[in-house]
Amino acid sequence: MENKFRWLARLFIVIIFVFCPFLSFLLSTLLLIKGIDLKFNILIGALCWGLYGYLFIPEVTMDITRHYEMYDSLLGLLTFDDFLFWTTLSDKPDYVMYYIFWIFGKIGFTSQIIGFFSAFIMYFMLYYLAYDISEIFNFKNSSIHSISYPLIFFLALTSPYWFSGIRQCNAIFLFIIALMSYYKGSYKNTVVFLLGSVFLHFSIYPFVILFLCAIFFSNLWINVFAFVLIGSSFFFYQLLHALSEVFLTVGGIGEVLSMKIDAYIFSGDGDDAIFVGPALRWYLSWILFFVSIPICYYINIKKSRLKSRFLVIHYFYILLLSYMIFTLSGSLQLFSRTLDLMKYLFFFYVSYLIFQIGVGQKMKKMLIGLLVVVSVGGIYSLFIGNEGKTFYPELLYMNLVDILETSVPRTMYWKV
């Protein structure tokens, strides 16, 4: 009987989704808060965010606009042989992604399908990560389900249009899910998600190296490596230049990494977009970085009480903070991308401190208060930046068919 009722409730939400997706988003959010049919309502929520991506109104310089242009140019390739010939002439390495674009184009979708899938995948992983953490800790003493806490925190610190970068955001979430899989003892999933994150975006390579060090290094060598990273910050440019030369001699993927280092560090190509979203959210993320240092020190004192798998996460967090100090000395672009990872991992890290290690009531209230302040500030950021410009207003009341038939003309794109 209960199973039958669940399927009837799902059918009802699907019908609402067809007639008014935004209303189904509100309903699924309410059910998530109440802890009802979590996995299904996570899917509905992610689909609704996908529709936001479908009618997304980008700023003219966003990465996604270049993907739109590439998508439209691929529509002229009539056969697979044409596509293969195009790959021999293109200097772009993202052949798999462009092949997917070409397939969608042959089906008949417009370039807006890129926004849909980018937003859907990113928000699905964000919701899944919040679900995963809520399952790990199972927060008690609340009238609302535990998924609400990490979900509110993550959404508050996530610019709605972060998905427009397409690969980096999804790579970061895949990497965090890999860490959570390791903590739960699911080592096969850990490997799969780690490989997926690395193949998706080159910026994940340093994180994977740090994570492997956290697994295989002893406490002594973790501390030595951390001090070496911090001390190396005085030689940031010299070290990166030497590393670029080494990669260049390797060839293949090494040559690609060398080009990326030159582009982001020495050419300044990434300096124009070191952070996505309003400045308030950027400062809130900085607060988490500074607070992480004493928290990390405190947990290190208590490391004898840590479970072995969380000890690896703790070692990784030490190395991550050290790496952030290293990058801060020379590249806000690299620091910003690392901050994007740290701010999501922070919630898991602090939750473990509060609910597993245990702290005094005063510190517990301070840490929970910090999470609340950051969440409220992040939500407030939605109303003070340019994020409202990306939203297609009619999405609030349009039905699914009208949404899919609506095109967003280039004339609607905005400038900062």
| Other CB atoms within 10 A of residue 113 CB | 20
Residues (pLDDT < 50) of the chain are 1, 270-273
The predicted pLDDT at position 384 comes to 73
- The reply to whether 44 falls in a domain is yes
Q: Tokens at residue 265, please?
A: 């560090």
- The reply to whether 298 falls in a domain is no
- The reply to whether 161 falls in a domain is yes
- The reply to whether 97 falls in a domain is yes
The predicted pLDDT at position 253 comes to 60
User: Rounded to an integer, what distance in angstroms lies between the CA atom of residue 112 and that of residue 64?
Assistant: 10
Cβ partners under 8 Å of residue 40, min gap 6: 10, 13
- The reply to whether 35 falls in a domain is yes
Residue 86, CA distances (Å) to 33, 76, 104, 256 in order: 49, 11, 17, 20
The predicted pLDDT at position 94 comes to 61
The predicted pLDDT at position 271 comes to 46
- The reply to whether 354 falls in a domain is no
- The reply to whether 345 falls in a domain is no
> In degrees to the nearest 10, what's the CA dihedral of 221, 224, 229, 232?
-140
The predicted pLDDT at position 174 comes to 92
The predicted pLDDT at position 299 comes to 85
The predicted pLDDT at position 93 comes to 55
Q: Which domain holds residue 394?
A: 1-137+147-166+389-416
- The reply to whether 397 falls in a domain is yes
Structural domains counted in the chain: 1
Give, in degrees to the nearest 5, the angle at Cα 353 between 347 and 357: 155
